[in-house]
């Protein structure tokens, strides 16, 4: 869903993304970052900054 809106926004018109959708995308990005960081800690701690 987000990719389709991003592509449409890039090529057709700006302002198509609502504040709620932007908030949801930011929350998703934060969740993905936390999950990747935890995966690194669990499986590859040597790759994490100290």
**Domain boundary assignment for the chain:** 18-50
Backbone φ and ψ of 38, nearest 5°: -65, -40
pLDDT of residue 22: 87
pLDDT of residue 49: 79
pLDDT tier, 18 (very low <50, low <70, confident <90, very high otherwise): confident
Per DSSP, 1 falls in state -
Average pLDDT (5-34) is: 79
Q: Report how far residue 12's alpha carbon sits from residue 18's, in angstroms, rounded to the nearest whole number.
A: 16
pLDDT of residue 46: 92
């Amino acid at each position: 869903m987000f990719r389709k809106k991003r592509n449409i926004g890039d090529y057709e018109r700006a302002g198509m993304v609502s504040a709620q959708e932007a908030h949801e995308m930011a929350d998703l990005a934060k969740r993905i970052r936390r999950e990747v960081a935890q995966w690194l800690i669990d499986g590859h701690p040597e790759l994490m900054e100290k």
